[in-house]
Amino acid sequence: MSESITSDIFAALDILVLERLDVGKFKFTGSYPKWIRRFCRKKLEPEMEILIPEEEFPFVENFLVDAEEYWQDNDEKPLKSGIWSDLDISGREFHFEASALLVDEKKILLIEMMSDSYIEKQNLIQQARENKLNYQNVIREKQKKEVLIHCIIHDVAGQLSGINCCLALLELENLTEKGKQRLEIGRKQTIQQEILIRQILNAFSTEVESLESFTNGIDEPPDVLASARNVVELLTPTFLLNKMHLQLSKDIDTSANWQIVGDKSRLDRIFANLVENAFRHSPQNSTVTVRLEQQDDFIIISVEDEGSGVPEEIADTLFQKFTQGNNSSGKSGLGLYFCKITVERWGGEIGFTPRKDGGSRFWFRLLKANRN
């Protein structure tokens, strides 16, 4: 294909083809696109020599600095300027992109007018970038709210813990029958408040998790044994006040490494949700046991209760959003759902199995933090 035909094809595609003669000096190659007349006041002719930049394309002056280096280096890959805009003689704005390339040792400069569809596509891309930034800002605001709620809940939970201790001490006093009734009311109210706090935390955390998709990084691998001990210590008073027992299995190897891939605050919440779930479905004088075991590259955590077990009609949907058992009055049905989405996004598994002696065993499996 001849040079002239090739240049005519470029012209038909609205691309101006210029051959470099000297620094800043070019000539038209073949036909030129019609749009160039909107930017040049002088009469244009094929093969005529022009100086760039003159008044037409001041932006190209910057690009030609890089283009000269490109031509000297004999690089095979075309050099592109990126999109810029210029005004024609009438003041209308158009968008362009320049390319420098070598063709048979000739130094060629292409200037292309971008089509309206291309500009529209670029605008859509820009809008998508802005939407992404706005989305990230929303995430940051959600994270700030989560921190605030955590702080508030931590303070309130601390006060409730103190109240529970006081109620436990009052049980040892020689109370009148009316005093015992009032004490029982106080105990029930504190339990309701503890459950309400957990509901708020679960509902808010589920919303945040769905937005974040766990994009935030994990700084320090949490210790499963430390989290288990912490939750057992915090919830033991509640169990004792209701004539129940909460314990950590005695056969745990405390010298082993119990760090997992995850996040400490969410791990604590998973523990609390599963233990509170066992509490709600266990009778008086029963025991809830937290067990830990290591299995190859995984750590398996389980919470066993001596309750009535999981009803058959909700077994398949137990970990879905808003699923509630028979003894879940006032619950949002988000606790087990939160456990599921958190464990699975950490690459783990979660489930439950009936116990031979009655009750249920809820378990989840997480990857160890330091696999070798």
Domains and their CATH numbers in the chain: 3-114 (3.30.450), 129-367 (3.30.565.10)
Burial letters for 108-132: b for 16+ Cβ neighbours within 10 Å, e otherwise?
A: bbbbbbbeeeeeeeeeeeeeeeeee
215 band by pLDDT with thresholds 50, 70 and 90: very low
Per-residue pLDDT, 94: 83
Per-residue pLDDT, 1: 46
Lowest mean pLDDT, pick from 329-333, 347-351, 354-358, 367-371: 329-333
The C-alpha atoms of residue 367 and residue 343 are separated, in whole angstroms, by: 10
Q: Does pLDDT of 52 surpass 70?
A: no
pTM above 0.85, yes or no: no
Average pLDDT over the chain reads 77
The C-alpha atoms of residue 19 and residue 30 are separated, in whole angstroms, by: 10
Name the residue with higher pLDDT: 30 or 216: 30
Mean pLDDT for 178-205 is 71
What's the token pair of residue 183?
């004490």
Name the residue with higher pLDDT: 353 or 205: 353
Q: Does pLDDT of 120 surpass 90?
A: no
Q: Does pLDDT of 152 surpass 70?
A: no
Mean pLDDT for 122-149 is 74
pLDDT tens-digit map of 255-298:
999 999 888 888 988 998 899 888 988 889 999 999 999 988 89
Q: Does pLDDT of 76 surpass 70?
A: yes
